[in-house]
Structure 1
Amino acid sequence: MRHRKKFNHLGRTTSHRKAMLSNMAVSLIKHKRIHTTLAKAKALKVFIEPLITKSKEDTTHSRRTAFSYLKDKEAVSILFREVSEKVAQRPGGYTRILKTGNRIGDNAEMCFIELVDFNENMLESASTKKSTRRRRSSSKKKTESSPAAEVKAETEVKEEVKDAVVEEKEVKAEPETEAKEESKAPEAKADTPAEEASDDEEKKKEE
């Protein structure tokens, strides 16, 4: 019985499956990218990533362990010379699977599996990303919150307050002048009848 055996047998015997994964791992190490089915790529990912982790420690024991899986001296030397230097700072996830659609004959899911640190196009695109709108808004906020901008804003507020105070004073002064003129006008009107009465009395006397 196959209780708790969840890995994909790929329709092959144990010896056939191990030989196939070993051959695919050698091809991936030499060419850095291969085209295969999605099921085989997932099985290869589990097979090769522990070997890449072991290649970070370049000792005789780790080289012999890798050779027992790969069965290829050239692939082992490339793994410990080139690949280990590239992945030295990476804590895992050395491979990437890129789906390419289904195969015409049997409609099997196809994909590329590649070593992440050897895809130069993706590394360049990741390093040269376009600026987003958030950066523009943050730059505006920075310019507005600069000390020079704050000083300008304070001076503008002070000038506006002064203008408002001057306008209020002018508005208050205008009603006072109008009230004074009105108070003077009745006095002038009250004086004129007395003067007319005195003129009439003088005319009568003269007569």
Structure 2
Amino acid sequence: MRKRRKTVKLQRDAAHRRSLLANLTCSLIEHGRIRTTLAKAKALRPVAEKMVTLGKRGDLHARRQAVAFLQQKDAVKKLFAEIAPAAADRQGGYCRIIKLGARQSDSAPMALIEWVDAPVAEEVEETAEA
């Protein structure tokens, strides 16, 4: 009988996949939204939401677990200081995936993944200046 696979391999070995997801999570924390392929966005969402859950816990052990996975202290600091408090009243579903269509070069399906609660500050400032 066919069993569903829990993780999407993304054509990478385990160590490469883990570092890819950690780097994508750090980019999402830093920028608020990122543009990537649909498969990577779907693989990123559970990882990013687990990081927000650690941030909502807020204790020292959760912070150390986040640093161990993300490997970037600045991203962990922003996660615990800004993103987790913004999602404090939400019980899951911290990320949103918006499909964008096919990429021009290789027709890969693209998507935009962003935080639901945290507005993107860069775009708000650009619209205010215009």
1:51 and 2:68 matched: no
Amino acid at match of 2:18: K
Q: C-alpha distance in 1, partners of 2:45/2:68?
A: 18
Q: C-alpha distance in 1, partners of 2:6/2:75?
A: 29
Q: C-alpha distance in 2, partners of 1:10/1:19?
A: 12
Structure 1, unpaired ranges of 5+ = 121-207
1:112 matched residue in structure 2: 112
| Max Rg structure | 1
1:32 matched residue in structure 2: 32
Q: C-alpha distance in 2, partners of 1:70/1:37?
A: 20
The DSSP-based 3-state class of the residue aligned with 2:112 is: strand
Equivalent positions of 1:1-16 (< 5 A) are 5-16=5-16
The DSSP-based 3-state class of the residue aligned with 1:110 is: strand
Q: C-alpha distance in 1, partners of 2:45/2:55?
A: 15
Number of residue pairs the alignment of both structures matches: 118
Q: C-alpha distance in 1, partners of 2:68/2:105?
A: 35
Equivalent positions of 1:48-87 (< 5 A) are 48-87=48-87
2:17 matched residue in structure 1: 17
1:142 matched residue in structure 2: none
The DSSP-based 3-state class of the residue aligned with 1:96 is: strand
Identity percentage of aligned residues: 46
Q: C-alpha distance in 2, partners of 1:29/1:21?
A: 12
In the TM superposition, residue 4 of structure 1 has moved relative to its aligned partner by 5.3
The DSSP-based 3-state class of the residue aligned with 2:89 is: coil
Equivalent positions of 1:1-207 (< 5 A) are 5-119=5-119
The DSSP-based 3-state class of the residue aligned with 1:104 is: coil
Amino acid at match of 2:9: H
Stretches of 4+ aligned residues off by more than 4 angstroms: none
For 1:73-128, what per-residue CA distance to the aligned partner results, in whole angstroms no more than 9, with x for missing partners?
Answer: 000000100011100001100000011110111111001000011237xxxxxxxx
Q: C-alpha distance in 2, partners of 1:102/1:5?
A: 25
Amino acid at match of 1:27: S
Q: C-alpha distance in 2, partners of 1:72/1:85?
A: 19
**What TM-score does the superposition give when structure 1 sets the normalisation length?**
0.55
More strand as a share of residues: 2
**What TM-score does the superposition give when structure 2 sets the normalisation length?**
0.86
